[in-house]
Amino acid sequence: MFALFSRILKLSGRYKGRIQGAFVCAFLESILSKMPIFLAFVILSGFAAGTLTGQTCLYVGLGLAAAVLVQMLVHYLSDSLQSAAGYLMFADKRMELGGHLRKLPMGYFTSGNIGKISSVLSTDMVFIEEVAMSTLGNMMSYLLSSLVLLAFMFYLNWQLGLIAAIVTILAWLVSKGMNKVSFREAAGRQEQSERLTDAVLSFVEGIGVIKSYNLLGEKSEELTGNFKRSRNTSLAFERKMTPWTMGLNILYGIGIAAIFGLAIFLEQNGGLSLAYVLGVLLFVFDLFGPLKALYGEASRLTVMNAALDRIEAVLDEPELPDTGKQHLPSQAQPGQPEVQFSDVAFAYQDKEVLHHINFSMRKNSMTALVGPSGGGKSTIANLLARLWDVKSGNVTIRGVDIRNVPLSELMDQISMVFQRVYLFQDTIYNNIAFGIENATLEQVEQAARIANAHEFILQTEHGYQTIIGDRGGKLSGGQRQRLSIARAVLKNPPIMILDEATSALDTESEKLVQEALDNLMKNRTSIVIAHRLSTIKNADLICVFHEGEIVERGTHEELLSLNGIYTKLYSMQSF
């Protein structure tokens, strides 16, 4: 328990003072919460001794009112400090996680970790900030209340205090066993929560395919199975915790009976005054209440501990190194390539997928990467954008290894247009101006004209202020692609990467998008990945990839004369 308190304090960073202040308030509240019982003991003692006066009752009444008012104030301060600290801490932690995810290699996201990320953000962090943080203050209050009551029991009679201490120690030993079970089961609960999140995301994102293949029932059963497993995991957790909770309740009952029985025995034998017996009667039923509540909340702490483990596991994922201090020159040296791949190899985990890749690109030239699927073309694009790092060799821009350049500066030099366009549920204007601060409407319109998008934008309900729906769902594929191109035009980078930008479009849309791409690539160094070879016939260099190697290179005419893989691919598309 104390280890978890320490862990939270380390996690709290600049809000550590708030949490420590909340613990101080919890200590004061624990004392003030027992003042009514203590004042009742004073009244009963005076009554039993025949010394009770009206003035004493007045002072006790005033003291009781003051204690209640101060307790209310302290409770408010504790809640304000602690709850606010939880929300502030995890606002910062979400920003930290977002910054960390931005620096992770793409392999992390393509390895089935989306459910884990969603679960950490939507379940683990929310649980800690909304539930666990308030629980910490309560538990500190329960712990201190137990110590105050135990001390007062020793004040009444050392034998009664000894019984209370023995019961407290036994309860602590039982709770250790309970926490072991709870820690073990809590990890399983959070992992199942992750699997459920992953299943829900997969079902929602694939609903169109699921319906089209009439698999709604089968996939619904799969999702329902995850819901059932989550339910069963939670029920199993409660079943395993119930015997421990019952054991603690039985122990508390035995302790209360022993203390009260000993108090009566001592009173009958002259070892304890009637006033003190009345004091025991007031305290005994509340003696183990805080202890009971303390260990009752322990299961929340174990879930909190598991949630913190999962958050830290994501934050511990190794980032792409971003320690480069070199800056890219504005121009390459005479005779120096704009972009160059030198003996590059790359591996997904232990499987090498690129071998000894060598090619260079002149400034404002167009280089096309073609070949069968799985040959490594998209990997080349991702290496240039440094979404991954090379295994060996190097990629340079104007003679500088991109690993030695700050990532933010590198990304200012590059823009990418993908086959699968991602648009935000926002206005057309904001989607085009994404990432460009203070872009004017005139600049956005000019980018849209270059991308052949201006006319269809004006035909929408509110023009550039039209909300386009989740992922641009209100637009056609060609329209989404042209907005993506307009976004790249507005960024105006010197290097463009086009990854299958026209492969999923109909003929009319492809013509408009291809015109937009031609406009986009003017006076820029471009890498184009294409399956439709008709779109790259004018490329300055065409590299043919096969099984992770460049097997042919040259212009369109040169490659046709080789009568190799490129000729075969081109002939297949000529019919």
Would you write out the chain's pLDDT as a tens digit for each of its 575 residues?
Answer: 566 667 777 777 788 788 778 878 877 887 787 788 778 777 877 777 777 788 888 888 898 899 889 988 988 887 777 777 778 888 888 888 888 888 888 777 766 677 778 778 877 888 777 776 667 767 777 777 778 778 878 887 888 889 888 888 888 888 777 777 777 777 777 778 777 877 777 777 677 666 655 666 666 777 788 888 888 888 888 788 788 888 888 888 888 888 888 888 888 888 877 777 777 777 777 777 777 776 766 667 777 777 888 888 888 888 888 888 899 998 888 889 999 999 999 988 778 899 999 999 999 999 999 988 888 888 898 899 888 889 999 999 999 999 999 988 998 899 888 777 788 888 999 989 987 888 899 999 988 888 888 888 999 888 999 998 776 778 887 888 888 888 888 888 899 888 876 655 556 566 777 777 777 788 889 999 887 888 888 899 999 999 899 999 999 999 999 999 999 988 887 65
Provide the strand spans (E) within 467-519.
495-499
Alpha-carbon distance of 369 to 375, in angstroms, equals: 10
pLDDT for 541: 94
Pick the closest to residue 478 from 421, 395, 399 (CA basis). 421
What DSSP string runs through 247-270? Answer: HHHHHHHHHHHHHHHHHHHHHHTT
Q: In sequence order, which residues have a C-beta less than 8 Å from that of residue 257 and are 6 or more positions away?
A: none
**Residue with the two structure tokens 């849209």:** 448
Q: Residue 474: phi, psi to the nearest 5?
A: -85, 0
Alpha-carbon distance of 374 to 344, in angstroms, equals: 17
CB 253 within 8 A of CB 287: no
- Residue type at 42? V
* DSSP bridge pairs for 350: none
Pick the closest to residue 499 from 418, 562, 560 (CA basis). 418
What are the residue ranges of helices labelled H in 338-450? 377-384, 407-412, 428-432, 441-450
What DSSP string runs through 515-560? Answer: HHHHHHHTTSEEEEE-S-GGGGTT-SEEEEEETTEEEEEE-HHHHH
pLDDT for 69: 92
